[in-house]
């Protein structure tokens, strides 16, 4: 699982580096997952560590801009995840959110991602229904 997270983070960083409009002095990627509840064993704090290791493996910077990994516990509640995503995009300048697991949280967060023209990575996509896959859940979502 950690290898998948590291690969997803590396992909996010690659996408971010290819994106022509990186603003600010840092490249921020948020890890938004359940860190204290039923899904904590699937990612939790380990996903944050994996993301930080991926950023280090990527060289710690893109075009001279340092990579910063944020973390938050969505508590497996859509309203909490949506609020965090909005704050990260509107106030904190996050470019991408990673490690969303199949739960009600990504269903709300994906709309915020699309509205802000950002990127989200949802883990464990094979568990998603075909209807959700067609809507863009279960893969890299970009606005």
In the chain, pLDDT over 70 holds for what percent of residues?
70
Number of domains in the chain: 1
Residues 6+ apart with CB under 8 A from 29: 9, 12, 13, 16, 51, 55, 67, 68, 69, 70, 94, 95, 96, 97, 98
CA distances from 50 to 5, 11, 45, 133 (A): 6, 13, 9, 25
User: Residue 86 pLDDT > 90, yes or no?
Assistant: yes
Q: Which domain holds residue 37?
A: 2-142
pLDDT surpasses 80 at 14 = no
- The CATH number of the domain holding residue 112 is 3.40.50.2300
pTM of the model: 0.75
């Amino acid at each position: 699982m950690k290898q998948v997270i590291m690969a997803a983070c590396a992909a996010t960083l690659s996408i971010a580096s290819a994106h022509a409009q990186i603003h600010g002095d840092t490249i921020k990627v948020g890890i938004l997952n359940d860190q204290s509840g039923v899904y904590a064993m699937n990612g939790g704090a380990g996903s944050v560590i994996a993301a930080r290791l991926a950023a280090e493996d990527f060289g710690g910077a893109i075009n001279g801009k340092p990579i910063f990994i944020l973390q938050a516990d969505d508590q497996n509640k859509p309203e909490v995840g949506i609020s965090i995503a909005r704050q990260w995009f509107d106030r904190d300048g996050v470019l991408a959110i990673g490690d969303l697991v199949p739960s009600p949280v990504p269903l709300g967060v994906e709309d915020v991602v699309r509205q802000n023209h950002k990127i989200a990575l949802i883990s464990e996509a094979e568990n998603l229904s075909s209807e959700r896959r067609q809507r863009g859940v279960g893969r890299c979502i970009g606005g």
